[in-house]
Structure 1
C-alpha cells in the first residue's frame, strides 16, 4: 500500500471556471486504475462551464451551498451530504451559490486516452440565476 499526501492546492483553470475555484488532487489515475478524485472549493458565484464526462461523475458535497444543473433540467440547490450522480456524457455544470462557498469531492473515471471531460460553453448569468429547486 502506498500512502501519499494530497498534491498542493491549485487554482482551477480559467477556461473551465467562471469566478474563483481551487482543487486538490486526492487520487490520480495510476496503473490499471482510471479513477480520479479531487476536492474542489468554489468561491461564492463561481461555477464550471457546461461540460460532460465520458463515464459520468459523482459529486459529494462536503461544505457550503452549491448549485447543479443537467442540460434541460432545473437548477438544483445542493448542500453537505448531498450526492449527485451525473450520467455518462450528460452535459451539466456545478458550482457555489451566489452567497456561499461550496466544496465537493469530484469522482470520475478517466478514459483510456486520458480524456476526463469535454468542455462546452460558459454558463450564462441567466442560467446561473434561474429559480432553483432542492436536490
Structure 2
C-alpha cells in the first residue's frame, strides 16, 4: 500500500474509534442519570437552559406532582411560591436555593429543602455546575405563583 492510502485508512479508523468512544461516553452518562433528562423548558419562568421530566402528574386522588429538573450551569427559576410549599431533593451537581429575605445557600447531591407555603423563593444551578433536582409540589390549593426574574445581582450575590 502506498503511504497516502495508509494515511487515509489510518484517519478513517481513528474517526470510527472516536465516534464509538463518544457514543459510549454519552450512553454511560445517560445510564448514570436517575431519571431521563426530559424536554427543554420553553417558558419565561426560567433563565438559562433547563429540562423537565414529569415523573408523577397530580390527579384528583393524589394532588402531588413530581418532576425531575436538570438545570445547565447558570440556569434558574424565577422567584415563585407554592400555596402548599414544595420539597426539593438534590440529585446531582451543585445548585442554589434562596427564600426572599434570606441568604442564598448551596444545594448538593443528597440534600433536601422543604420550601414553606406561600414563600417566594428560587432555585437553580451554580455558575460552574449543572444541577439536577426532584421537585415535589402539591396542587391541592392552587398552582405555582410565578414572580419576577432573579436578577444577575441576586444570582451572583455572595453565599453566607
TM-score by length of 2: 0.75
Following TM superposition, by how much is the alpha carbon of 1:26 offset from its aligned partner in structure 2, in angstroms?
0.3
Structure 1 residue aligned with 2:49: 20
User: Which of 31, 35, 40 is matched with 1:11 structurally?
Assistant: 40
Conservation of the 8 A alpha-carbon contact between 2:71 and 2:131: yes
Q: Bigger relative contact order, structure 1 or 2, given CA contacts below 8 A and separation 6+?
A: 1
- Could you say what secondary structure the match of 1:132 adopts? coil
The residue aligned with 1:79 is 108
Q: Give the drift of 1:71.
A: 0.1
1:1-135 mapped onto 2 (5 Å cutoff):
9-111=38-140, 115-133=142-160
Find the residue that maps to 1:81 and give its secondary structure.
coil
Q: CA deviation at 1:30?
A: 2.0
Who is 2:28 aligned against?
none
Unaligned runs of 5+ in 1: 1-5
Q: Decide whether aligned partners of structure 1 residues 76 and 8 sit closer, same or farther in structure 2, where only a CA change above 3 A counts.
A: closer
Aligned residues: 126
Whichever structure has more helix as a proportion of its residues is 2
Give CA-to-partner distance per residue, 1:39-98, whole Å, 9 cap, x none.
Answer: 000000000000000100000000000001000000101100110110000000000000
Highest Rg: 1 or 2? 2
Contact 2:51 2:71 in 1 (8 A): yes
Contact 1:59 1:84 in 2 (8 A): yes
Any stretches of 5+ residues in structure 2 without a counterpart? 1-34
RMSD: 1.6
Which structure dedicates a bigger proportion of its chain to strand? 1
